Amino acid sequence: MQMMTRDILLDMEMEEDDDEDGDIGDAPASKRPLLRTHTLASGLALENLDQMNASSFGTLGNQHDFQSPEFEEFNGKPDSLFFNDGQRRIDFVLVYEDESRKENSKKGSNEKQRRKRQAYESNLIHDGLQLEATRSVLDDRLVFVKVHAPWEVLCTYAEIMHIKLPLKPSDLKTRTSAFGNFNWFTKVLQVDESIIKPEQEFFTAPFEKNRMNDFYIHDQDTFFNPATRSRIVYFILSRIKYQVRDNVKKFGINKLVNSGIYKAAFPLHDCNFSHPSADSSCPNERYLLYREWAHPRSIYKKQPLDLIRKYYGEKIGIYFAWLGYYTQMLLLAAIVGVACFLYGFFNRNNCTWSKEVCDPNIGGKIIMCPQCNICPFWELNITCESSQKLCIFDSFGTLVFAVFMGLWVTLFLEFWKRRQAELEYEWDTVELQQEEQPRPEYEARCTHMVINEITQEEERVPFTAWGKCIRVVLCTSAVLFWILLIIASVIGIIVYRVSVFFTLSKELRPSENGTDPIQKYLTPHLATSITASVINFVIIMILNIIYEKVAIMITDFELPRTQTDYENSLTMKMFLFQFVNYYSSCFYIAFFKGKFVGHPGDLVYWLGKYRNEECDPGGCLLELTTQLTIIMGGKAIWNNIQEVLLPWVKNLFGRYCTVSGSEKIAPRWEQDYHLQLMGRLGLFYEYLEMIIQFGFVTLFVASFPLAPLLALVNNILEIRVDAWKMTTQYRRMVPEKAQDIGAWQPIMQGIAILAVVTNAMIIAFTSDMIPRLVYYWSFSVPPYGTHAHHTMEGYINNSLSIFNVADFQNRSLENPYSRRGNYTTCRYRDFRNPPGHPQEYKHNIYYWHVIAAKLAFIIVMEHIIYSVKFFISYAIPDVSKSTQSKIKREKYLTQKLLHENHLKDMTKNMGVLAESIIGVVDNNMRPKLE
């Protein structure tokens, strides 16, 4: 095709624009930043063309200036990844609907869209890309534009993007396994190297065209792998302009897709996932990934991380590396958690205080005060079932497990840093921060000139310091508003708990003989807890869907510079919201419910109307366990259904509607088009799901030691589900570079620090472990107790205070069970002096002993765990010594290699120059000598 010598932009200043996708991708033509998109045909840069008058770029009438792609018929090769000539590889595919064949649409709008697309494609050709169009086999309204980047384009943009490419094969030793002595066992878990061959290691350096001879170029067709080619082409597609309107240029494939001019843009999968390609030159990497990674029969095998990184890019590779490492570490936590659970389960029959609750002569004779203004008196032994369950979770094993998890999370984070450093070295992302390019949306807004403090040169920024302050204030206000909205929903759940508990207390009255199964298994506390947890889960999911869109809008308004900055900013907003959304109810049950209720004679009311909720006589720990089980289990089931069924049903429906009974052979690009789009933030939601789970596993593990086991089972399935949907249900994502897991690392560190405090406070204030220990060691024996030796006998009677029924504030309250006799006293859960005492209903000495013991426990536990955590963090370096040596040696050898090659070139050039000079001198001197 004949190359153009200038850009084609539509001048639409006099016509109405029909874009509805906002202004991302727009920039004033006079103030627009200089985009590094070099014109290959003429050797000029497009930034120089930006200074030309916009009106000279062409108008709607200049149809002859457009360069259109070549139209070719499908050649009948469904597995082909090349143009029809079989030589040029397809690096990207653009899909649009032919305006001339659209039904029931406006003619004027179609013409505008067609001309914008023509201008865009013409500028792609002008920038050196080669296009070939093919009409759909299954739907003749669709047109697929295949994009190929020639060698010269790849080399130019590889230098612009600072892409590291091979210099020479590496002679450094590969990382050896720590389980080398168990090869007979680990071999079963490893990926078969005869199927997925290990990648050859190279020394690499940022590519430079003037040093092309220094690089390991054996074949131009394979020097840039498919993932790198797709990255380069997407970089170009995101920055090519297509229109000028009101002196504003519009550019980028994302804007064109959002406005409907193109229906999709994606790189190709290399083959079908279920069988290898018929093309002998195809590497069949998608098929290998499905067979050895995504297939259920490979669930026990390690992940082929190098192949994942090669096919999908470092960003997806580092996610699966982190998820796999997290799952491995969960195995140890799950084993210890199950051991602690079994300890509590087998010792539940030795729980003295639970026996007293269930004993008809003790718990059956203790009459408890009503828990609401219309509730009846009740006998303590009706909570026998819940007290037996509580013995499983509220045991000494729980304390041991809480301390263990405080250390486990530190070990996990420190060892992950080391593993991450190894991956940075192996995947050439050590110096990624220096090579990341600004987002095109950021470049489009750079309209203000400032002086760089380092270079003292002028550079463009999107807004002034005052404008940045305004954006920060607006964004912070929006985030705070949504957090307050979540808190309001939590208050609504509390009101629901109170009102429903009152109602159920009236309806679920004990039967005469006490054998009603509903009364036995469905207590008002249990029914209220379960229904409130379910409603809370539903509210969480609804608010989650709404806030996702709000957070994206806020982050777009902030306009971060790079994609990493964008994702980190969005990550902090989303996690802050999700933290309040998912954990607020758990924090309420653990630390607020039942803590500020007063006593029956002086109750605490909300707004003077709603009586504060009370815990079960066994405490709120069992209710917290129920809440965690419902949220964790419900979230895992919902997410897996959403991740598996939703894309599968959509793809099934799409294929049914498209094929319509025909048995035509579809090409590779058309098969991929009918798959689902994962989106640029798809991986972000995967991280978010796992970090929320990480919070449940660490923050409240003292109340539910089986949480790591549930997380382990979920993650084993999650890895394969994510692998399955990426390889079978989604289009291939544009490969992206990533050095680490980004903002998720400091978030996990913050959760780890907070987890020590929350678990210590759960044991101190939510469970009854400290009051029981105080009773056992101090109040069961003289001077406070009457037993001759330390024992737990009498604990229930000692932990329940006495109240005189005649002291009720509401004297109009009638006892619904007057036929059982009038009660003069009742018991309630607190440590207060009995009626008739000089300080009646004031906290007794037992209360102050318990408070002192709780505070002492929190301080001691926190200081011990934090000290050990600090020591572990100090003792385990973030980068291992071997990895540091490899990084330094590779840097040294790379610099040496480039320097030696440079000296060779200089010597060679000097030799040629010397020979030329000698030849000239000799030719001049020979006639004189003769």
| Closest of 412, 425, 416 to residue 175, by C-alpha | 425
Region 27-42 average pLDDT? 40
Helix axes 682-699, 621-659, angle to 10 degrees: 160
**Residue of 155 and 585 predicted with greater confidence:** 155
Whether the Cβ atoms of residue 720 and residue 297 lie closer than 8 Å to each other: no
Coil/strand/helix, residue 153: helix
Name the DSSP class of 504.
H
Q: What pTM value is reported for the model? A: 0.84
Whether the Cβ atoms of residue 7 and residue 125 lie closer than 8 Å to each other: no
pLDDT in tens, 195-206: 888 888 888 888
Cα 313 from Cα 321, distance rounded (Å): 12
Cα 746 from Cα 744, distance rounded (Å): 6
pLDDT at 506: 64
pLDDT at 732: 92
Region 835-850 average pLDDT? 91
Is 31 a residue whose pLDDT tops 50? Answer: no
pLDDT in tens, 578-592: 888 778 878 888 888
Cα 532 from Cα 519, distance rounded (Å): 19
Is 281 a residue whose pLDDT tops 70? Answer: yes
Beta bridge partners of 825: 804
Cα 802 from Cα 835, distance rounded (Å): 7
Whether the Cβ atoms of residue 408 and residue 364 lie closer than 8 Å to each other: no
Element (H, E) at 450: strand 448-451
Of 49-63, 276-290, 831-845, the poorest mean pLDDT is in 49-63
pLDDT at 44: 34
pLDDT in tens, 343-378: 999 988 888 888 999 999 998 889 888 877 667 788
pLDDT at 63: 47
pLDDT band for position 23 (cuts 50, 70, 90): very low
Cα 164 from Cα 314, distance rounded (Å): 13
Task: Report the chain's C-alpha Rg in angstroms.
Answer: 35
pLDDT at 47: 41
pLDDT at 846: 93
pLDDT at 434: 57
Highest mean pLDDT among 105-119, 715-729, 795-809: 715-729
Helices marked H in 177-268: 183-189, 220-223, 226-237, 253-258
pLDDT at 237: 92
Cα 566 from Cα 439, distance rounded (Å): 9
pLDDT at 56: 30
Cα 669 from Cα 656, distance rounded (Å): 18
pLDDT band for position 287 (cuts 50, 70, 90): very high
Is 423 a residue whose pLDDT tops 60? Answer: yes
pLDDT in tens, 43-76: 333 343 343 333 333 333 344 467 888 888 888 8
pLDDT band for position 847 (cuts 50, 70, 90): very high
Phi and psi, residue 204, nearest 5°: -125, 160
pLDDT band for position 221 (cuts 50, 70, 90): confident
Is 426 a residue whose pLDDT tops 80? Answer: yes
Other C-beta atoms closer than 10 Å to the C-beta of 617 total 25
Peptide bond connecting 376 to the previous residue in cis, omega within 30 degrees of 0: no
**What are the b/e assignments for 261-296, b being 16+ CB within 10 Å?**
bbebbbbbbbbbbeebbebeebbbbbbbbbbbbbbe
Cα 754 from Cα 403, distance rounded (Å): 13
Is 324 a residue whose pLDDT tops 90? Answer: yes
Q: In the structure encoding, which two tokens stand for residue 13, read together?
A: 């200043």
Coil/strand/helix, residue 513: coil
pLDDT band for position 189 (cuts 50, 70, 90): confident
In 344-412, which ranges are E strands?
367-368, 378-379
Please, which residues have CB within 8 angstroms of residue 880's CB and are 6 or more apart in sequence? 418, 421, 422
C-alpha separations of 767 from 260, 331, 394 in Å: 58, 26, 6
pLDDT at 515: 44
pLDDT in tens, 690-744: 999 999 999 998 888 999 999 999 999 999 999 999 999 999 999 988 888 988 9
pLDDT band for position 832 (cuts 50, 70, 90): very high
Is 856 a residue whose pLDDT tops 80? Answer: yes
Region 790-811 average pLDDT? 82
* pLDDT averaged over every residue in the chain: 80
Percent of residues, the chain, with pLDDT higher than 90? 27
Beta bridge partners of 248: 28, 245
Of 182-191, 280-289, 497-506, the poorest mean pLDDT is in 182-191
pLDDT in tens, 504-544: 766 665 554 444 555 555 667 677 777 887 887 788 778 87
Please, which residues have CB within 8 angstroms of residue 213's CB and are 6 or more apart in sequence? 901, 905
Region 4-17 average pLDDT? 49
Other C-beta atoms closer than 10 Å to the C-beta of 480 total 11
pLDDT band for position 757 (cuts 50, 70, 90): very high
pLDDT at 41: 35
Is the CA virtual torsion 269, 270, 272, 273 positive or negative? negative
pLDDT at 49: 32
pLDDT band for position 105 (cuts 50, 70, 90): low
Whether the Cβ atoms of residue 898 and residue 905 lie closer than 8 Å to each other: no
Percent of residues, the chain, with pLDDT higher than 70? 80
Highest mean pLDDT among 505-509, 637-641, 798-802: 798-802
pLDDT at 708: 93
Whether the Cβ atoms of residue 508 and residue 606 lie closer than 8 Å to each other: no
Region 813-832 average pLDDT? 66
Highest mean pLDDT among 572-576, 893-897, 917-921: 572-576
- The region that residue 742 occupies, defined by phi over 0 for left and psi between -120 and 50 for alpha, beta otherwise, is left
| Closest of 262, 281, 314 to residue 435, by C-alpha | 314
Coil/strand/helix, residue 542: helix
Half-sphere exposure of 927 (CA within 13 A, CB side): 3
Whether the Cβ atoms of residue 127 and residue 69 lie closer than 8 Å to each other: no
Cα 602 from Cα 801, distance rounded (Å): 14
Phi and psi, residue 427, nearest 5°: -105, 10
